[in-house]
């Protein structure tokens, strides 16, 4: 048994553990564990510095989870975009492939808590149907392997899935969505990275939310992936009491770059049932983005997005940098709030209906007409007319 598996066995993973380790009321602990299973491995537990700190909030359940908030269990309508049990197919050229229900640490803000931890809903028995679906859809060129956490699978089982995807000619990109570099970096072993590098191009998206998670162990795990030629990106969630502060977020992004991890997304917290206490106003996220842009390298700036409720996909949000126009000049402000004018290129004169179409239509509803040229005719003297 590998070290990471031994550490999993020593996890806090029951209501009884909450009572014994943290003094929870037994009835409350059992209710919370029934609502969404508890698992906190010893490594991540060791990062807690005091009760209620940013690490505690992410992993220790709270009575607030039991409050009725009228929010959905499936806020992103993943079930509606699921043609077979293991696949979410929302975007034209890529799919989410759920391969396991298990995680090494169950985040209390999880947006997929209706399925995560339940082997009846995300199961190995659905893997082949997922591979068959991907093989039958040549438009799919990018597959994100997720779950749960796919690195909860053994190297052997994970390789079977990845090699199955690599056998499909139209699959170009394989991504692993895993929180292991953050919550259990001991899972990233030389044996694992040797296996993964056989299937390039392969990418990893991981999930750090606070600078305290950027430990020497996490740095080593991320560097092992990078040394194997696997680019690592990070997806953070904006959460009240965890990282809803520009200085904290800036420190996190800078530390990620030092670990060779590229900040990728900063998510506005989803409207998930039982997680409303983590949500912040959108204005907080915009203010954080405003205070990062220009004050650090563009490499450290993630895209701030809302994953639209109901399955609308990721929608980027930006502070307001374009203030208006002055004739052909665009009025802009920079990160210091200094004002500048940029002379725009004059638009060609178009009929009003064409301008309207260009402004509001992504593509024509009817195919453009082909220009028809008159056929040449030959005169009696051999000339064309």
Q: Hey, which residues are catalytic here?
A: 90-91, 94, 103, 107, 110, 112, 270, 307, 314
| Pairing verdict, β 303-308 and 313-316 | antiparallel
Residue 199 CB neighbours (<10 A): 14
Specify burial of residue 70 (Cβ count, 10 A radius: 0-12, 13-18, 19+). Answer: exposed
Paired tokens of 225: 């992936």
* Helix (H) or strand (E) run with residue 340 in it: strand 339-343
| Pick from 154, 106, 153, 164: nearest CA to 130 | 164
Q: Which of 313, 251, 309, 239 is nearest to 276 (CA)?
A: 239
Tokens representing residue 237 in the block: 């969630």
Give the chain's length: 385
**CA atoms of 265 and 134, how far apart (whole Å):** 26
Inter-CA distances, 133 with 79, 87, 88, 143, 168, Å: 16, 8, 11, 12, 11
Task: Give the separation between CA 55 and CA 225, rounded to whole angstroms.
Answer: 24
Distance CA 10, CA 3 (A): 11
Asked whether the beta carbons of 195 and 226 are under 8 A apart, the reply is no
């Amino acid at each position: 048994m590998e070290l990471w598996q031994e550490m999993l066995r020593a996890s806090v993973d029951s209501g009884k553990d909450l009572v014994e380790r943290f003094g929870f009321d037994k009835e409350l602990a059992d209710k919370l564990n029934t609502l969404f299973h508890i698992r906190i491995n010893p490594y991540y537990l060791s990062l807690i510095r005091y009760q209620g700190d940013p690490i505690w909030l992410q992993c220790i359940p709270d009575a607030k989870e039991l409050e009725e908030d009228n929010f959905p269990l499936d806020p992103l309508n993943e079930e509606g975009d699921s043609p077979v049990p293991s696949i979410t197919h929302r975007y034209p050229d890529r799919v989410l492939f759920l391969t396991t229900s298990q995680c090494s640490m169950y985040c209390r803000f999880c947006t997929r808590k209706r399925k995560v931890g339940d082997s009846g809903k995300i199961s190995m028995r659905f893997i082949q149907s997922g591979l068959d679906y991907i093989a039958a859809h040549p438009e799919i060129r990018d597959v994100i392997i997720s779950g749960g956490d796919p690195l909860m699978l053994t190297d052997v089982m994970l390789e079977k899935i990845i090699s199955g995807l690599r056998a499909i000619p139209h699959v170009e990109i394989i991504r692993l969505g895993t929180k292991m570099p953050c919550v259990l970096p001991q899972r990233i072993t030389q044996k694992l990275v040797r296996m993964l590098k056989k299937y390039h191009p392969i990418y990893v998206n991981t999930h750090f939310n606070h600078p305290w998670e950027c430990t020497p162990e996490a740095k080593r795990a991320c560097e092992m992936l990078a040394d194997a030629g696997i680019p690592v990106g990070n997806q953070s969630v904006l959460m009240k009491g965890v990282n809803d502060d520009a200085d904290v977020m800036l420190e996190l992004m800078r530390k990620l770059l030092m670990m060779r991890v590229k900040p990728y997304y900063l998510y506005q917290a989803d409207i998930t049932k039982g997680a409303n206490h983590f949500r912040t106003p959108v204005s907080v996220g915009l203010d954080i983005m405003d205070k990062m842009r220009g004050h650090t390298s563009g490499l450290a700036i993630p895209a701030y997005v809302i994953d639209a409720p109901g399955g609308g996909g990721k929608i980027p949000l930006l502070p307001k940098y374009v203030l208006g126009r002055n004739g052909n000049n665009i009025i802009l402000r920079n990160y210091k709030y200094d004002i500048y004018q940029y002379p725009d290129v004059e638009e060609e004169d178009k009929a009003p209906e064409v301008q309207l179409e260009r402004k509001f239509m992504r593509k024509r509803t009817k195919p453009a007409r082909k220009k028809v040229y008159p056929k040449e005719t030959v005169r009696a003297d051999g000339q064309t007319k």
